[in-house]
Amino acid sequence: MPKNSSARVTVFNRQKLMRIPVAAVRRIVGEVLSGEKRRFRSASVSVSFLTDRAIRSLNRRYHHRDMPTDVLAFELGGADELIADIFISTATCRRQAKVYGNLPQRELMLYCIHGMLHLVGYDDHRPADTKRMRAAEAKYLKLWLS
């Protein structure tokens, strides 16, 4: 099966709070797809940066949680085709960056990585799964920083 690095990545900016590093977002999505074992015949991923109000609406509609969240990821394709949407709240990103002592841009890239890891099969519901996901996040953050 071909490498996933030729994925089509579309970035939508639906907020005004943060500058979005479009090239870095595209690169990190490609890095996660190339670096993971799950392979796709084709991949098309959209990454949308939203307000808290917009992501809260999606969270309420699809997860029945009436609150903003950091990132939502939805896989729409089949077994060998990835068609996916990632939604990221920049307001939550900025708040969380302060809480964890991160730069907002680092937090933003972490959310991109986190959403992509969910799309390639990672989960974070059990402690062992969370540990595995955190290790993968650290690996890709290091790639982004290099």
pLDDT digits (tens, 9 = 90+) for 80-118: 899 999 999 999 999 999 999 999 999 999 999 999 999
Give residue 13's pLDDT band: very low, low, confident or very high (50, 70, 90).
Answer: very high
pTM value is 0.93
What is the C-alpha separation between 75 and 39, in angstroms, rounded? 14
Domains and their CATH numbers in the chain: 4-145 (3.40.390.30)
**Terminal C-alpha separation, the chain:** 28
Planar angle of CA 89, 107, 20, nearest 5 degrees: 60
